[in-house]
Amino acid sequence: MIECKICHKTYKAISHTHLFFVHNYTQAEYIKDFKVRTIISPETKQILSKIHMGNISRFGQKWSPREYEFHSKNQKKLWKNPQYKKKFVRAIKSAWKTGTMREKRTEYLKEKWSDPTYRAEMSEMSRRKQGGLEYRRWRKRLMKKLWRTPSFQRKMAKRYSPGVDSPLIEEKWLEVVSWLGHSPVEFGFKDAHWNLERVRDLIFKKWGIHFHHASIGYQFRKRGCRCVPIDPNDSKDYLPSHHRFTTWIGPKNP
């Protein structure tokens, strides 16, 4: 409950009608004069938040094609206005920075994913979608477009830092590259093909140094090692995880 600063009565929320008809105040004047941050009690805020999050998950599910087209055109028209776009983006950023939106979203997702039926449905949908050729082509086009963006390149450079000096000396890296001439089974792996994750695990096991797999790929390319398909008949649409590092194009075979 929250207390009215004028009549000292408690309410779930200090409404506009109470302030205007009882005290001849508007909500803006009340907040300014008494320097309060909110006119809604914490309990009421929690109830409204749950209702709001539930409405967001069901938003637009029962729309007819005509209603969907109307809302779509309306939103496109609104987002062409720079002031509306700036205001909306600022509100979203501030909500995520305060942590309230993040906490609510986390609680909502935990509740949804705790249901085994929902988890099975989402897993099946994800496998069906990502296994399709159209999705792989879309992903490939998206990544090409992103890597042309300077802001994305700077972000990836900060995250993976591929250009930093390696803690391994050159002799150790030549030993790592020489592993590719043998089957991973000889090093304790069940699969017969190499990938960057297995190289990373083997480096950590032998020298206790942890690499990101993107940094290992950079070190391999720096030394002339190339990624080739497992099967010569493989399609060009295959993801990098379906390839193995085997070709050494350096000045000498390690």
Please give the model's pTM, rounded to 2 decimal places: 0.36
Higher pLDDT, 73 or 52: 73
Residue 94: band (very low, low, confident or very high) from pLDDT cuts 50, 70, 90: confident
Residue located via tokens 């590719």: 180
pLDDT value of position 233:
55
pLDDT at 28: 85
Contacts of 19 (CB under 8 A, 6+ apart): 25, 26, 27, 30
